[in-house]
Chains A and B, each alone.
Chain A
Amino acid sequence: MSTSSMTSAAAAQPDAWDWAAVSDFMPYFWDGVLTTLQVLALGSLISFTLGLVWALALRAPSRFVRWPVGMLTEFIRNTPLLVQLFFLFFVLPEWGIQFSALTTGIVAIGLHYSTYTAQVYRAGIDGVPTGQWEAARALSLPYHRTWTAVILPQAVRRVVPALGNYVIAMLKDTPLLAGIGVLELLQRARLQATDTFQYTEALTVVGIAFILIAYPSSLLIRSLERRLVH
């Protein structure tokens, strides 16, 4: 066999798994996990709060509130998060609003998922038996007390598992933030791999990390669902 053919055979041979590359990546990995969890926590907070605002606005007595909110949430829900992310990241500075990539990412993910959580809240509110509304009216409870003391406590209990599912969906969408340069898990892995050319280790560790976070979370949500809803 000639030297050149031996070289090409060696080049075609896939690289073996390198544990040293995994340990080199670990410090960046933990930093990435922290950023991912930060995005997830703040994104969830925004989506839960804003989702409730949308859900209440969609039930407002005035159609001048219901209609624009309905259109806006429908539009956000039917367009990709990645393009929304680019829109906010590149357009807001043109309008004089400057956020860091991380803040933009958190706002985008929170805003996007708020349109989904709004649907969840809506289903939860619709699920409260009509008798509860009638009882509140019979007790002459004011409008805001009917919501805060009677309807919402019952609705929120029903929607907790569904909201949990969206937290997992959000977790799996956090890698999109790599598109605007946020140093979350995927972006850390990508940078590390670009430096060392060892894509296998970094990207596999990130993939496994997602499964290890998402699967126990979905088990937890299933048990919550059994306890709270049934």
Chain B
Amino acid sequence: MDRFLFLTFDGLATGAVYAAFALALVLIWRAARLVNFAQGAMAVATAYVGYAVVSVTGSYWLGLGAAVLAGLALGALVERVLMRFVGHANPLNDVIVALGLVLLIQAVLGMVFGNEYRPAAAPFDTDALSVGGVAAMSPYDLWVLGAVLAVVVSLGLLFTRTPIGLRMRASAFAPEVSRLLGVNVGRMLTVGWALAAAVGALAGMLVVPTGLGLHPHAMDLVFVVAFTAAVVGGLDSPAGAVVGGLLVGLILSYVTGYLGPDTTPLAILVLLLAVLLVRPGGLFSSVRARHV
């Protein structure tokens, strides 16, 4: 029972990171109808910026801020310089360009910083506190959960309570009508990409201390898991992304704990295939995602 509780808490903490990452994917899917396959590489790039600032200033919080700002800038840049000019006649074009970006970013990071794993310090203790004799969450896990919760709540407020959120939703759902009504749809797209990349950057900063460290390929697996989480929740639903992230985190935690860490990749694959084959629109979607 203790073990089950520990695995549950651990799963929730890692699931929160997947949730944030999946949220970033959902943001871009809603704004531009494309899955950003470069999300992981972009998050790694901003994490390198963050940890460069940490090593210069010695302050984790400055580094976190720098990473998020770098995410905003990188997201806007990628949309303005690259994605805007991709022909949308073929839906594969977006994916191919994003994959080209993955290769480019990872190679540039490898050339500048080297391909070895760099240790990344966590701002809080990562040893689990015990509550009543049961090993529960570590302070770092609590910080991760709190940060992701704050992002989810503020994004929710942004989309439902502010004029810019309304314009973003409008241009995502009906671009032509929004344009007629005076919304600068192109700018909303840039803002969407910037926001998504910033959320991705935060998720990257949160996940790096729990893994092996900073590495150009550090997010490859995280991206796949986050994609699974987004698919579980439904690519259209931000709430679904969060629930999907937590759910996937829990499942992977149980699989790792009871069957061993080697089986996790297979578990992800099975989960992804099962969800796509049984309910391709995701658990929270009422829209059918395909018609054949």
* A and B pair up: no
Q: Mark B residues whose CB is within 8 Å of A.
A: none
Q: Mark A residues whose CB is within 8 Å of B.
A: none
